Amino acid sequence: EDVVNKIAAGEIIVAPVHALKELIENAVDAGSTSLEILVKDGGLKLLQITDNGCGIDKDDMVILCERFTTSKLKSFEDLTSIGTYGFRGEALASISHIAHLTVTTKTAESSCAWKAQYAGGKLAPLKPGQNAEPKACAGRQGTQITVEDLFYNVPTRRRAFRSASEEYSKIAEQVGKYAVHCKGVAFSCKKHGEAGAGIAVPATATVRDRIRMVHNSAIANELIAFEVANEQYGFKADGLVSNANYSGKRTTLLLFINHRSVESSAIKRAVEQTYSMFLPKGGKPFVYLSLEIDPARVDVNVHPTKREVNFLNEDEIVELICGEVRTRLGSVDT
């Protein structure tokens, strides 16, 4: 049974960035306005995320890492109604099967913080010889999740990683996406032992400022805002996209569907197509797009490594969005 869990976990979490994405989403769902991320050895040695969200009830800590049982525990309200998304109640469980997982958390109601260690889906002793119970400790409201030695017990997976810096770039890219999208939330992401933060965004920053901080000013100065909604297809979209003055080497697409960072090759293709008539040959756009669709119409391809999303009336919706972008590009003096 444990081997099965370990294999399942290794398929959901293929690289450190996959674990971190789940942890970021949990922290954001918990209503946090501050996320601090620390990474060591591309996330293989350490992934730590500290938030100031609602915290986890002490009584919930015992089942926190049991598969499927936890989906949104007591202290949690499902704010985002992403009911159709995959991986429900699986992230922490999976991580606990393939890494050393420590959780320190405090709710507003609790007089102290609680710290617990998990292994194989269950509470484990914090120190050898101790019992496997959460221990009271000092701490502020919120949650700190520490993931150490990811894939320590999956040697084949571990061997597949060539360089820590490659894994760190994937992490920085993912954190950067959420740092742009999550208005009202401060983000920091840094490598352990390095003074400066790789990513640092204050809670008050606008989306345009966020793009300036995470990406660069050359892009941020050339952005057009757009907005489009349609009742028939049950969606609304808005975003910031580069204008015809900007011509990048590769397409940057920050795509959010119902506030989750997702991939869509269909949208990427359509966007590139739209820009091809405005940019010099080979020039690529920068696109931040936040799409909200009735969750009942969204289907996440749960093949864990792909994280591709499909939704009803995809062609029509994508055309409406690209049509709006086309109009904006055409109407701006360049």
Binder of ligand ADP out of 50, 52, 143, 274 (CB under 6 A)? 143
Strands (E), the chain: 34-40, 46-51, 100-106, 113-119, 122-124, 135-137, 142-148, 186-191, 199-201, 223-230, 235-242, 252-257, 260-261, 286-293, 298-300, 309-311
Q: Which listed option, ligand ADP, Mg ion, none, makes contact with residue 41 (CB within 5 to 8 Å by class)?
A: none
Which backbone phi and psi does 85 adopt, to 5 degrees? -70, 150
C-alpha distances in Å from residue 306, one per residue of 58, 83, 94, 292: 35, 19, 17, 20
Nearer to Mg ion, 26 or 75 (CB): 26
Residue 116's SS3 state is strand
Q: Which listed option, Mg ion, ligand ADP, none, makes contact with residue 53 (CB within 5 to 8 Å by class)?
A: ligand ADP
Closest approach, Cβ 248 to ligand ADP, in A, equals 34
Extract the tokens encoding 174.
């993912």
Closest approach, Cβ 269 to ligand ADP, in A, equals 30
Closest approach, Cβ 140 to ligand ADP, in A, equals 13
324 binds ligand ADP (CB under 6 A): no
Number of residues lying near ligand ADP (CB under 6 A): 23
CA–CA separation, 180 vs 210, rounded Å?
A: 5
Closest approach, Cβ 289 to Mg ion, in A, equals 23
Closest approach, Cβ 184 to ligand ADP, in A, equals 16
Nearer to Mg ion, 26 or 258 (CB): 26
Contact 236, 229 (CB under 8 A): yes
Closest approach, Cβ 78 to ligand ADP, in A, equals 9
Q: Which listed option, Mg ion, ligand ADP, none, makes contact with residue 16 (CB within 5 to 8 Å by class)?
A: none
Nearer to Mg ion, 46 or 65 (CB): 65
Closest approach, Cβ 65 to ligand ADP, in A, equals 7
26 binds Mg ion (CB under 5 A): yes
175 binds Mg ion (CB under 5 A): no
CA–CA separation, 115 vs 306, rounded Å?
A: 34
List Cβ<8 Å contacts ≥24 apart for 159-167: 161/15, 161/42, 161/44, 163/42, 164/41, 164/42, 164/44, 165/42, 166/42, 167/15, 167/16, 167/17, 167/42, 167/43, 167/44
Which range of residues in 5-13, 19-27, 160-168, 259-267 is near Mg ion by CB under 5 A?
19-27
85-124 residues near ligand ADP, rule: CB under 6 A = 87-93
Number of residues lying near Mg ion (CB under 5 A): 2
Q: Which listed option, Mg ion, ligand ADP, none, makes contact with residue 312 (CB within 5 to 8 Å by class)?
A: none
DSSP letter for each residue of 62-113 = GGTTSTTT-SS-TT----S--TT-S-TTTHHHHHHHHSEEEEEEE-SS-SSE
Q: Which listed option, Mg ion, ligand ADP, none, makes contact with residue 70 (CB within 5 to 8 Å by class)?
A: ligand ADP
Contact 178, 187 (CB under 8 A): yes
Residue 25's SS3 state is helix
Binding pattern to Mg ion, positions 64-103, x when CB under 5 A?
A: ---------------------------x------------
64 binds ligand ADP (CB under 6 A): yes
24-53 residues near ligand ADP, rule: CB under 6 A = 26-27, 30, 51, 53
Neighbouring residues of 72: CB distance < 8 A, sequence distance ≥ 6: 78
Q: Give residues in contact with ligand ADP (CB under 6 A).
A: 22, 26-27, 30, 51, 53-56, 64, 70-73, 76, 87-93, 143
Q: Give residues in contact with Mg ion (CB under 5 A).
A: 26, 91
